[in-house]
Copies of this chain bind each other. A is one copy, B any other.
Amino acid sequence: MGPDKAGAQNILVKKSRVTLADVAVAAGVSKMTASRALRAAGDVSKSNVERVLQAAQDIGYVGNPLASSLSGQRSNLVGVVVPSVANVVFAEVLGGIAEGMQGTGMQPVFGVTEYDLDREYNVIRNMLSWNPAGLIVTGLDQSEDARRLLENTEVPVVQIMDLDGTPIDACVGFSQSAAGAEMADALLAMGRRQIGYIGCDLNKDTRANKRLEGFKRTLLKNGLELLVEEITESPSAVSTGRALTARALANRPDLDCIYYSNDDLAAGGAFHCMANGVIVPDTVVLAGFNGLDFIESLPVKIATSRTPRRKIGKTAVKYIVATTKKNGAPQDKVIAYTPIVVD
């Protein structure tokens, strides 16, 4: 029952969206001049810039990124491909990415692969179809098809969280196998020799697998082998870690150390020990991976490797932003961090 009521038969009232043309009319210039002014693209007199900006402000112009991306051949979307969001680690990476994008005008689009290579391929393909400003994908081990896709695109691609392999374009992360090796060194330095391993989904989580390899390699170098290798397909969770630890310690009560594929599992191990009177770390040392915040609050001390997750996300964005800039100074293609072993 607004004032529109009167115009029941006026034909030209859709006007659902304020467009650049409206701004141009309001400012008394052409669409092009308005476009240039709004983008600060130069070639516009100071007075007209002001006029256009004011007009846009007045009529509440927002701009249509779809149109602009279609025309400009590049969007301000950044595709982010992670294996899982339920995992805190990737959630924090996302957080870092979101933080890094703050103020850049870019928008993250995310896709979840659930550690499935086919799904990953589809997600990547789909994201590329958006002409994104960049792509951030987890890990270096994509399927051949996916890799080809990424190699042939003009879009800057940043692979994160890994360093062991050949990056397609840029790469921000750390060496997973080195991380595993370092942890092994640390545990050996603590005098541990009866060592077991507990992990999830190694066939899918190639990064955990690389850590395990590095870990075993170092053991071997010291004439040791894993006494137990409990590997499950159930999802990585604290409860899983607790259950597997119970099993492992039942089978091999002589273990004096357990390396887990991540902190969640290790925390589960800690809980099992606490609940069953196993002294940590005196009787058995537990070691995880990631350095999640809550680890240091646990009543018992467990070892872990602290990884710069937020920073990795932020850095990946920074690379894309820098590459997108016209005067793109050549960027470092490989940015390596080192996890810090904490015990």
Contacts and interface: CB of A to CB of B under 8 A. Distances in A.
Contacts of A88: 86, 88, 91
A332 interface: no
A86 B95 contact: yes
A273 to B, nearest CB: 9
B85 A75 contact: no
A42 interface: no
Given A94-B85, A95-B85, A296 B239 contact: yes
A299 B127 CA distance: 44
Interface residues of A, number: 54
A271 B299 CA distance: 5
A99 B90 CA distance: 16
B299 A66 contact: no
A75 to B, nearest CB: 7
B98 A91 contact: no
Nearest to A70: B66
Nearest to A276: B299
A218 B69 CA distance: 54
Contacts of A129: 62-65
B238 A297 contact: yes
23 contacts: A16-B154, A63-B129, A64-B129, A65-B129, A65-B130, A66-B66, A66-B69, A85-B85, A85-B92, A85-B94, A86-B92, A88-B91, A95-B112, A107-B111, A107-B127, A108-B109, A238-B294, A239-B293, A239-B294, A239-B296, A271-B299, A274-B274, A275-B299
Interface of A: 16, 62-67, 69-70, 75, 77, 84-88, 90-92, 94-95, 98-99, 107-112, 125-131, 154, 237-239, 241-242, 264, 267-268, 271, 274-275, 293-294, 296-299
